[in-house]
Amino acid sequence: MSSPVSLNLNYIAPFVADHEWDQLRPAVSEAHRRLHTGNGAGADFLGWMDLPDKGDHEELERIEKTAAGICEHADVFIVIGIGGSSLGAKAVISGLSHSFHSFLQPKKKNGPDILFLGEHFGSDYTAELLEALAGKNVYVNVISKSGTTTEPAIAFRIVKTWMEKTYGKGEAKKRIIATTDREKGALKTMANAEGYETFVVPDDVGGRYSVLTPVGLLPIAVGGISIRDLLAGAREASYEYTEERLSHNQAYQYAAFRYLMYQKGKQIELLSTYEPKLTDFSGWWKQLYGESEGKDGKGLFPASVAFTSDLHSMGQYVQEGRRHLFETVLYIGKSRNKIQIPRSDGDEDGLDFLAGEHLDAINKKAYQGTMLAHTDGSVPNLILEMEQLNAFSMGALIYFFEKACALSGYLLGVNPFDQPGVESYKQNMYALLGKPGHAKRRIELEERLNEWE
């Protein structure tokens, strides 16, 4: 069985010549070799590569058992994490779940409502979330390798206090699951002391590559989605994208095209989707490529749009603005549901010519028309096509982007598995908040702020 993700290169011929592909083949082969022999930068974080094929089956069963217990008792499941600790799960859950799950009658739900916290310091959001929990049966999954990342650590402190006040300390402990380091860290220490059930964040898998570990799998399973199908799709993709030859590996073709666009002066990659359920997937994709490539003064800026809605806000810029971007279009062929356009007695809106058509067919024509218009406007369009959106295809899509991202980083000459720049804002924030050991830095930063005010 081949991967359900198909790369369509038919519309990029005006922008890339055959000889440019040929010239890039040796670099792709070298990047492949470094990736598969573990001789490249960041080799300690390659555990994601064979994760779908060599996962811990006992832990997978425990995840499913824990998720089933939560689904049986919980009205609300709160996921506390930030970045790679939440974006992957959110992407899969929103992509594959009912768009209006919280409005469904209880008997039609396949699990609790899933809420996310710890991604920001929003007071109103946090207060309103706690308010919405009144009278609900609540379970919590706190996800952090260290347990000291400020946003989720503060969120967990707030929610833990609420849980203990609502249920008592003894019962609250049974409702909190920690996904953290195997042996060390503040959250691991707390989980051991409190007796929380725990799952492991693997040492050899970085946060933004962790969606197919317990980091993402537990929330996804609680969402009623088959994690075995998700992993099966990723497994098929891992087999397909092992091929070294550029002509036989579509993930490498995607990475190579991005690199060629970068060499030609493009600065922005715009991920365009025509399925509103993929909005959160775009967020996961942006972190994957932004953190992996944005270093040493290099890298494409990953941005996203949701068509056709954004055609009425960003479409003009894409069509006629600066020619510094290209599009990667993520297109889903078939929806799970069929909606037919009804006929109107008076045809007041002039749309009776569409009566009997399905929304899918109209969406396809919008996609085709937009792609042709943007290509005519000198915006290269690379198409990623999927016949349908399900757990298997989502798993394959995740692995496609992960494998392409790793190779792309090596082509660019950066370590695709670290994120040193992320620490800069954290250190400044810690200093300004008065964290012990940062007094000198705090004085320096406050002086700079006073100069600007």
Catalytic residues: 291, 426
DSSP H or E segment with residue 115: strand 113-117
CA 287, CA 88: separation in Å to the nearest integer?
Answer: 10
Task: Check: CB of residue 230 under 8 Å from CB of residue 391.
Answer: yes
List phi, psi (to 5°) of 423: -70, -20
Radius of gyration of the chain (CA): 23
CA 173, CA 170: separation in Å to the nearest integer?
Answer: 6
List phi, psi (to 5°) of 192: -65, -45
DSSP designation for 265: T
What torsion do the CA atoms of 440, 443, 447, 449 make, to the nearest 10 degrees? Answer: 110
In 38-185, which ranges are continuous DSSP H helix? Answer: 51-54, 57-73, 87-96, 123-132, 150-167, 169-174
Kindly tell me the sign of the dihedral angle through the C-alpha atoms of 429, 434, 440, 444.
Answer: positive
